Amino acid sequence: MATNRGGRVLGYLESGKNLAGSACGVVGLGPTLAGVAGAYWPVVIAGLYGAGALIAPPERVAPPPFDPSEEVGALRADFTRLREYLGEVELPATAAARWAGLLELYGALLEPGWVAQVLAAEPEAVHALSRAIRRDVPECVDTYNRTRWWNRLTPGGESPERHLERQLDLLYEEAESVTADLREAEARRQQTHTAYLEERGRS
């Protein structure tokens, strides 16, 4: 407790507010030594110190350093767990090709290397992929299995398999859109670098 208090005191002594207040207080010594402040010189110096401390800009606290590649690494680990989960549940054979295509696309985006680096630089793409892997796909599979059980008891209506296939189609379209956005982002970076080299050549 005493150590923390001492650290806070030392931190304030080194702060911009204290330095600005001290500078204003030193300015107040002039009128004090000249006798202008009279018996009120402590009030004058304290007031100038307070004014200086108030007008000083607040201390800037640096934000914590976040590494986008760490989020991609965590997402890659979750994708591995998702594949293990999908290997344990019963899925319709009619959707096998859709599953294979979707998982292949996810895996390509998360493969360690330069593609994952491009992904890490695009927070919206990471969010979309994270939502699909951590929520949408597991929910599709779980809902399918539960609905299929109910459908066995009371047949009728649109089949759970058809709903699952439609959901997979939508997820694949979203993954393709994410891939297209990443490709465009990479193309923009290439164009920016070309413009930079051209500008540097002209100068």
List, for residues 45-64, the tens digit of each pLDDT value: 666 666 666 666 666 677 66
Model pLDDT for residues 62-74, shown as the tens digit of each residue: 766 667 778 899 9
Model pLDDT for residues 111-125, shown as the tens digit of each residue: 999 888 889 989 899
Q: What is the pTM of this model?
A: 0.65
Computed from CA positions of residues 183, 136, 93, 156, in that sequence, does the dihedral angle turn out positive or negative? Answer: negative
Q: What integer is the mean pLDDT of 128-142? A: 95
**Spatial distance between the Cα atoms of 39 and 193, rounded to a whole number of angstroms:** 68
Q: How many CA atoms are closer than 13 Å to the CA of 173, on its beta-carbon side?
A: 6
Q: Are 156 and 99 in contact (CB under 8 A)?
A: no
16 C-beta neighbours (distance < 10 Å), count = 14
